[in-house]
């Protein structure tokens, strides 16, 4: 599948494929600002900026080097592209050793260019941190990461979409929720419940179900519309419990066969749960399983109701 929207930061779990479905029937000009407090690759923000549906954007995350990376993309994409190219070329002679050297350096200096390199080069583009907050994912031995020329094009394209229109914030999501203003629309993509608590915790600043409920009550209390990706399933494996129905409608989005399961010889379908605030989709629509196309049609029908 070819994407026209830039995607400079490779990130496992990116909502790049779902961005069009999430935003396709958000009426252009209806909302002033799109806020992503769990930005990651900011796929939804980039898709929204490309479609001109919002005038302003806020890109937030708890991971400070990631927020610094987004600020550099907004302000100085050539500088980040040059640093990335230098790191990428550095590993040509000793690929695996250089990866581990750069990883160790990042864990000391938290340099955003090194984070970009690590994400582009590590296994499955999957960010992983140990309990001490150190990046601990391994290098992918089958590939060399994004070519510097391709990366430069992506960085410059993202810069053109966001420069003068976006700000960044490094903060806990509840702090960002407290700053919500009329005219905001929130897209929320926190770590799933099953990957941010207990034995399988792997992210900086995991999100408990209790804190997420607390935050959604804040948004609902301010009548701030939102879409939340928070749990789902793949085959017989589920990620988290359903959130209370009074908070939002839940749409079970069938996004097709899992590529990872297919590689492992299993035919598993991935279901993404999208929680949509009642001021975007009415409470009468709940727990329906839809394809991406059906979700688009639902948005088209309901936007005229508000």
Q: Is 244 left (phi over 0), alpha (psi -120 to 50) or beta?
A: beta
d(CA 50, CA 66): 21
d(CA 14, CA 213): 23
Class of domain 1-189: mainly alpha
**What is the pTM (predicted TM-score) of this model?**
0.85
For 110-124, 232-246, 253-267, which range has the lowest pLDDT when averaged over its residues?
Answer: 253-267
For 69-73, 86-90, 113-117, 257-261, which range has the lowest pLDDT when averaged over its residues?
Answer: 257-261
Give the Cα-Cα-Cα angle 85, 90, 92 (nearest 5 degrees): 105
**Residue boundaries of the structural domains of the chain:** 1-189
Q: Is the dihedral of CA 46, 226, 171, 40 positive or negative?
A: negative
Question: Which pLDDT belongs to residue 24?
Answer: 66
Question: Which pLDDT belongs to residue 202?
Answer: 46
Annotate 148-173 with b (16+ C-beta within 10 A) or e (fewer).
beebbebbebbbebbeeebebbbbeb
d(CA 159, CA 279): 32
Tokens encoding 120? 């582009």
> Is a pLDDT exceeding 90 seen at residue 158?
yes
Q: Is the dihedral of CA 85, 5, 182, 294 positive or negative?
A: negative
């Amino acid at each position: 599948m070819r994407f026209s929207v830039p995607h400079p930061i490779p990130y496992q779990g990116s909502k790049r494929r779902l961005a069009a479905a999430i935003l396709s029937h958000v009426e252009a000009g209806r909302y002033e600002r799109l806020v992503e407090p769990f930005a990651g690759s900011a796929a939804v923000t980039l898709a929204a900026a490309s479609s001109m549906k919002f005038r302003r954007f806020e890109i937030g995350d708890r991971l400070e080097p990631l927020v610094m990376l987004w600020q550099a993309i907004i302000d100085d994409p050539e500088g980040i592209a040059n640093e990335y190219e230098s790191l990428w070329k550095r590993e040509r002679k000793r690929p695996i050793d250089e990866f581990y050297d750069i990883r160790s350096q990042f864990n000391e200096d938290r340099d955003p260019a090194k984070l970009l390199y690590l994400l582009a080069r590590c296994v499955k583009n999957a960010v992983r941190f140990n309990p001490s907050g150190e990046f601990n994912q391994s290098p992918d031995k089958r590939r060399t990461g994004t070519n510097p020329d391709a990366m430069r094009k992506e960085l410059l394209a993202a810069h053109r979409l966001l420069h003068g229109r976006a700000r960044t914030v490094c903060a806990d999501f509840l702090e960002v929720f407290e700053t919500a203003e009329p005219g905001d629309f929130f897209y929320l993509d926190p770590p799933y419940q099953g990957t941010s608590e207990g034995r399988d915790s792997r992210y900086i600043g995991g999100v408990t179900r209790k804190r997420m409920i607390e935050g959604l009550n804040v948004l609902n209390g301010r009548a701030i519309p939102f879409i939340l990706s928070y749990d789902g399933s793949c085959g017989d494996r589920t990620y988290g419990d359903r959130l209370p129905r009074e908070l939002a409608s839940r749409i079970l989005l069938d996004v097709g066969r899992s590529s990872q399961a297919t590689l492992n010889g299993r035919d598993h379908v991935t279901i993404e749960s999208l929680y949509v605030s009642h001021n975007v989709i009415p409470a009468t629509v709940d727990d329906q399983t839809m394809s991406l196309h059906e979700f688009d049609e639902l948005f088209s029908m309901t936007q005229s109701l508000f």
